[in-house]
Amino acid sequence: MKMLVNGSNCHTQLQVPPGAESIKCAICLAVTRLTYPTTTARPPQSAAYSQLVQPSYRPSQPSPYNHAPLGPPPSAHGRKKAVIVGISYKSSKNEQKGCINDAKCMKYLLINKFRFPEASIIMLTEEEADPYKIPTKQNIRMALYWLVQGCQQGDSLFFHYSGHGSRRRNYNGDEADGYDECLCPLDYKTSGLIVDDEINATIVRPLPHGVKLHAIIDSCYSGTVLDLPYLCRMSRSGQYVWEDHRPRSGIWKGSNGGEAISISGCDDDQTSADTTALSKIASTGAMTFSFVRNEAIEHGNASTYGTLLNSMRNAIRSATSDKMGGSVVTSLVLLLTGGNLAGGLNQEPQLTACQPFDVYAKPFIL
């Protein structure tokens, strides 16, 4: 059983390293000191913290994944909060050239286009000086807990991930294709993957009425990585139907009344490109760049989900024929990043949601 303790300030659940005397929260930076029973000798490590550690699974919860821990209510309605993750896997055989570039461009867009306060954005990349902002599995989990903690009507939440994705065989029958979609944190080889079931339970199911969550996931096999109940299947001509992906088991994968919408880099059986084919000057995720380009210089907040999705798909399709460009967003990429290697494109961004809607009538607004 994992050893967890509630942080002394924000009450985020923290995983306790063996033998630790204290632990620091990456969200509020408060230090929680650990105490042992004052009886005889310190108990064996496997039995330590019995009075202050909660098990990672509480039977009263509908799933084995903890929701955001309780915390003080926000001081005002209408907040905007974001978690941005960019992982390069530097010096490994799986190194990605454009993921940190994606994260920088997305942060710039959120602050300057959508008026997200910089203090309300948690940035997780290998370039961060704070060790708690390195995109390890535990740090990503804690950031996602923070994202939904205390959310209430009027809040707009945003999650962007650029990095490797994977999938693994599903055994509980809640996947139409038989596979769970996963994100690969920096330490995935030692700590494991972050599975779609956990992502759904952490940032989708807790959402109350009036809260809006958008996720932009630029990774392989990411079509249904938030495990949302409905997928918008769109043809090249722009016609679409909503596919019902609710599990046959009856497990609810939607929210607690809030709105959750995900745009992913590709379908569940496709890969996402890390390429210079779109920006012409630096490696970026094809999907992230097409999203930033659309929101920066084409339609912005006036676009609907349908026009946004079509625009992103058309941009990716046309990249190999050298039709992409756009001096404004290209200058942005040049300002924030450097140039790297190109890659091939074979992907179609996907749209999933808690509930079906008219994609050509509903405006895309963060």
For tokens 């080889």, name the residue.
189
For residues 126 and 135, is the Cβ–Cβ distance under 8 A?
yes
Q: Which CATH number applies to 80-353?
A: 3.40.50.12660
Enumerate residues 6+ apart whose C-beta is below 8 A from 254.
Answer: 204, 205, 228, 229, 260, 354, 355
Beta bridge partners of 31: 24
Mean pLDDT within 65-90: 70
Mean pLDDT within 3-7: 68
CA of 27: how far to CAs of 18, 37, 108, 121, 132, in Å?
Answer: 21, 28, 21, 11, 8
Q: What is the pLDDT of residue 27?
A: 60
- Sorted by where each begins, the domain ranges of the chain are 1-57, 80-353
pTM, 2 dp: 0.72
pLDDT tens string 28-73: 667 777 765 544 343 343 333 233 233 333 333 444 554 444 445 4
CA-to-CA distance for 302 and 250, rounded, in angstroms? 37
Q: What is the pLDDT of residue 271?
A: 58
Q: What is the pLDDT of residue 298?
A: 53
Beta bridge partners of 353: 230, 261
Q: Which pLDDT band holds residue 221 (cuts at 50, 70, 90)?
A: confident
pLDDT tens string 92-144: 888 887 789 889 989 999 999 899 999 999 999 999 999 999 999 999 999 99
Beta-strand relationship, 274-275 and 194-195: unpaired
Q: 86 phi and psi, to 5 degrees?
A: -135, 120
Q: Catalytic residue numbers?
A: 164, 220
**On the CB side of 104, how many CA atoms lie within 13 Å of its CA?**
20
**On the CB side of 194, how many CA atoms lie within 13 Å of its CA?**
28
pLDDT tens string 136-166: 999 999 999 999 999 999 999 999 999 988 8
SS3 state of residue 143: helix
CA-to-CA distance for 201 and 197, rounded, in angstroms? 6
